[in-house]
Amino acid sequence: MSVNHIRPWRTIERRKSRQIMVGNVPVGGDAPISVQTMTNTDSSDVKATLAQVLAAAEAGADIVRISAPDVAATQALREICKESPVPIVADIHFHYKRAIEAAEAGAACLRINPGNIGDDSRVKEVIKAAKDHGCSIRIGVNAGSLEKHLLDKYGEPCPDAMIESGLDHIKILQDNDFHEFKISVKASDVFMASAAYQMLADATDAPIHLGITEAGGFVSGTIKSAIGMGQLLCMGIGDTLRVSLSADPVEEVKVGFEILKSLGLRHRGVNIISCPSCARQGFDVIKTVETLEKRLEHIKTPMSLSIIGCVVNGPGEALMTDVGFTGGGAGSGMVYLAGKQSHKLSNDQMVDHIVEQVEAKAAQLEAARAAETDRA
Ligand code: SF4
């Protein structure tokens, strides 16, 4: 049960959007905000691309996107879609035939802008293929690739131009009686993306795919994405997201989840609360947290762990976590379970013991959840 009734400052009221399906993943409405990533292998290389899809899925990706620039890529999609544990979005630019091939190959969604694929007959063919194969569509407006007539009209990429572009694409789909679509209005500039998404949220009830495009390398891209998407998510805007990083897709998934976890919008795995450490630390906090992050990667059950260097903040943080360890003196510290002081532990046994405690707590939470499901 949510405890937000006693902590109203934590409440995020999500914008009410229509729900669509991307394969078996609901997007929009009251569905959890899904996390996406995109492969960066040669899409015609089934083995390499599938390996990335599987790694991303293992890291928690709900949906994975794959570029389909040529026939070799759409052919490879057939096997990839068959083997993938998560729905695949085929990313198409301009080539309507690739979209049809991708739909036939089993893609769950097409990322395509219907206004950019040519005349009405081509649009109709793509929409027919999407309908025939149960594909949804993502309209992907990008400030860097706006239509020329909009750049002429507005003078430069801007939120108004992006919204006009998005609404034009939406109209084409609606005129063709196609409603299984979501939409993004991405920009690499945080202010532009934020303004565009806020306008979009008012202009349509379609599910919104959030993204700060070309955000940069791991550190700068993570920060830009967290600031840009974070403020929108706090306003309740966003039904699915992709963090774009010049980094491994698995990192994109982890960052996406961390953004959602930090706002209490999704919960997955162990949320480690740790202090930055200082001269008061009773053990090496940084090294310990690094080790624990790796050792606890396999835990998918949502739970919290506090690893705090000393009693200044340790007991207080431990009060709010499932498992906690607070550094003390003489090479030992205190273990906390369910917010209560439990037992003393020497630092050299700490990592193994904490891993055991977390695994035991995860098993207990899973058993409780299974019992609740049985009762329901
Ligand atoms: S909790 Fe203790 S060790 Fe950690 S930063 Fe604060 S004072 Fe330093």
Mutate to test the pocket of ligand 1, among 273, 286, 312, 317 (most ligand atoms within 8 A of CB): 312
Percent of residues in the chain assigned helix, strand, coil, to nearest 5 = 45, 20, 35
Q: Residue 248 is encoded by which pair of tokens?
A: 């491994």
CA nearest to 209, candidates 256, 134, 140: 140
For atom 2 of ligand 1, which residue has the closest CA? 310
Answer yes or no: is the C-beta of 276 below 6 A from any ligand 1 atom: yes
Pick the atom of ligand 1 nearest to 327's CA: 3
What pLDDT, on the 0 to 100 scale, is given for residue 136?
98
Give CA–CA dist 335/176, Å, rounded: 62
64 touches 40 (CB < 8 A): no
From ligand 1's centre to the CA of 280, what distance in Å?
A: 6
Is residue 233 over pLDDT 60?
yes
Mutation to probe ligand 1, out of 273, 277, 336 (largest number of atoms < 8 A from CB): 277
Q: How confident is the model at residue 1, as a pLDDT? A: 40
pLDDT at 5 over 70: no
Asked whether residue 245 carries a pLDDT value surpassing 90, the answer given is yes
The alpha carbon dihedral of 285, 290, 292, 297 has a sign of positive
Give the model's pLDDT for residue 50: 98
pLDDT at 170 over 90: yes
Question: Residues with Cβ < 8 Å from 66, sequence gap 6 or more?
Answer: 38, 39, 43, 49, 53, 73, 77, 80, 88, 89, 90, 91
pLDDT in tens, 67-106: 999 999 999 999 999 999 999 999 998 899 999 999 999 9
pLDDT of residue 375: 81
Residue range 356-367, pLDDT digits in tens: 999 999 999 999
| 215-228 residue pLDDT tens | 789 999 999 999 99
Ligand 1 pocket, residue 281 CB under 6 Å:
yes
- pLDDT given for residue 94 in this prediction: 84
Cα-only R_g, the chain: 23
Between the CA of 294 and the centroid of ligand 1 the distance, in Å, is: 22
Ligand 1 in reach of 316 Cβ (< 6 A): no
Mean pLDDT score, 174-190 = 96
pLDDT in tens, 271-321: 999 999 999 999 999 999 999 999 999 999 999 999 999 999 999 999 999
- Counting from 1 in the atom list of ligand 1, the atom nearest the Cα of 310 is 2
**What is the distance in A from the centroid of ligand 1 to the CA of 19?**
45
Among the atoms of ligand 1, which is closest to the Cα of residue 278?
A: 8
Confidence of residue 374 (pLDDT cuts 50, 70, 90): confident
Q: How far apart, in whole angstroms, are the C-alpha atoms of residue 345 and residue 334?
A: 6
Q: Which residues, 6 or more positions from 155, have their beta carbon under 8 angstroms from its beta carbon?
A: none
pLDDT digits (tens, 9 = 90+) for 201-214: 999 999 999 999 88
pLDDT in tens, 35-44: 999 999 999 9
Residue 369 has pLDDT above 90, yes or no: no
Tokens of 81: 């879609």
| Whether residue 286 has its Cβ less than 6 Å from ligand 1 | no
Percent of the chain whose predicted confidence (pLDDT) is above 90: 90
Residue 372 has pLDDT above 70, yes or no: yes
Spacing, Cα 165 to ligand 1 middle (Å) = 51
Structure tokens at 373: 């499901």
Residue nearest to atom 5 of ligand 1 (CA): 277
Residues 170/138, Cβ–Cβ less than 8 Å: no
The Å distance, Cα 288 to ligand 1 centre, comes to 14
Dihedral through CA 220, CA 150, CA 110, CA 300, nearest 10? Answer: 30
Contacts of 110 (CB under 8 A, 6+ apart): 89, 90, 92, 99, 102, 103, 126, 130, 135, 136, 137, 138
Nearest atom within ligand 1 for CA of residue 275 = 4
Over residues 224-241, mean pLDDT: 97
Residue 69: DSSP 8-state: -
Cα 351 to chain centroid distance, Å, stands at: 29
Quote the pLDDT of residue 4.
56
* pTM, 2 dp: 0.90
Task: Quote the percentage of the chain above a pLDDT of 70.
Answer: 98
Provide the mean pLDDT of the chain. Answer: 94
Reply yes or no on whether the pLDDT at 2 is more than 60: no
Please choose, from the candidates 354, 239, 230, the residue with its C-alpha nearest in 3D space to the C-alpha of residue 289: 354
